[in-house]
Amino acid sequence: MGLVSPLGSDLTRFWARIASGQSGVRRVQRFDISGYASQIGGEVVEFDVNEFIDKKEQRRMDPFTQYAVAAAVMAFADAGLEMDKEDPTRAGAIVGSGIGGLQTLEDQHSVLRDKGPGRCSPFMIPQMISDIAAGRIAIRYNLQGPNHAVTSACATAAHALGDAFHALRRDEADIMVTGGAEASVCPLGYAGFCALRALSTRNEDPQRASRPFDAERDGFVMSEGGVILILEELEHARKRGAKIYGEVAGFGMSCDAFHITAPDEDGEGAARAMRMAMKDGGVNPGDIDYVNAHGTSTQLNDKTETLAIKKALGAEIARKIPVSSSKSMTGHLLGAAAGIESVVCMLAMRNGVIPPTVNYENPDPACDLDYVPNTAREGTVRTCLNNSLGFGGHNATILFKAFE
């Protein structure tokens, strides 16, 4: 696994901050945010792109691709995977982005407006398109197997991981590099989401702004970053003595077919994705030890997801299972969110610690589960669900198991 995130770009440091309930949210520093309704975000920190990509290539990449490539470099190092010893036709990459090269689009539109069409960069299109992260990673590591991008808003990385999982199951590859990246902390990104009234405006207290399931939640906090996970067919991983964090055991996806941004308030679509993942993985609701919720800190999402969890697991069982939202600490990485939350699930299983939902101070009667409020707790996690719900009604759930 590798990541570039608002809580750092080192797995050990990232986990220490998650386990201690630290927030990566602050006032946006990258541009003048004073005219925006929301002025806070999860900007990437402790990241030097020069360690991963030479300067010439940097100039030809949007930040979202830089984050993805850097996360891939870290993931390959963490996996001890040397592609010159592998069959490149049996290795692929499926990496998504919810929005793609938004900063490139913004910058090049300014060039067009101010200097005319002849001054636009010849790299504008290959910098901007959402599939370029998967392509760049494949070129760097000579991955000649399945390769594509996924775009499904906030469910993007979950769908990418699900597609990679299925590629391994279908024996199309032995190794799949997967995840998501996003870099929409820019003026155009904030203008759009502020106009949508989707973002928290708790500007005076950034670290307390993302408060999933809390009665005073007022919107999500925009974040950025990139996350890559390397999936392998079991015998292939065993043969090379790979370090194994856990097992991808099941995947489910559905659509609300209801509204372009709002979830269907009956929660049935999200519940169905959870049921499908459990059925795929051969587990029952009582086998689930932890749910990493989508938990965006918006009024509708958190209420609807709570209902969906109760529908999928049964209300009595659901109330006994710890449910937490990593977004309370990382903010919302949009197309990379499910990637960073998959890392959280893996490390929770590995370390026997259930991460908290921070800023949970005011109970909401519509949100009545065990959200692991404010402080992590020790606990054995053998089986967990990771939920992702995206604009457009996209629902995706990944089932993880501890590897035995």
358 contacts 21 by C-beta, under 8 angstroms: yes
Run of H or E residues at 164: helix 156-169
Look up residue 97 and give its amino acid. Answer: S
Round to whole Å and give the CA distance between 37 and 40. 9
Residue 120 annotated among the catalytic residues of the structure: no
Any catalytic annotation for residue 154?
yes
Sign of CA dihedral 235, 236, 242, 243: negative
Closest by CA to 231, choosing from 186, 268, 176, is: 176
Bridge partners, 232 (sequence order) = 175
- SS3 state of residue 88: helix
Cα gap 389→391, rounded to integer Å: 7
Structure tokens at 375: 């402080």
Name the token pair of 17: 């901050």
Cα Rg of the chain (Å, integer): 20
Neighbours of 237 (CB within 10 A): 19
SS3 348: helix
Cα atoms in the Cβ-side hemisphere of radius 13 Å centred on 290: 32
Residues 298-325 as b/e (b if ≥16 CB within 10 A, e otherwise) read beebbbbbbbbbbbbbeeebbeebbbbb
**156-169 and 337-351 are packed helices; what angle lies between their axes, rounded to 10 degrees?**
70
Q: Which position among 159, 194, 294, 367 bears the catalytic label?
A: 294
Give every CB contact of residue 33 below 8 A, 6+ residues apart in sequence: 27, 39, 190
CA 69 – CA 85 distance, rounded (Å): 21
Catalytic residue chosen out of the listed positions 159, 186, 332, 345:
332
CA-based max dimension of the chain: 64
109 is a catalytic site residue: no
Q: Give the pair of three-digit tokens for residue 263.
A: 């979830």
Between CA 232 and CA 283 the distance in angstroms is: 22
C-beta of residue 40 within 8 angstroms of C-beta of residue 203: yes
As annotated, the active-site residues are 154, 294, 332
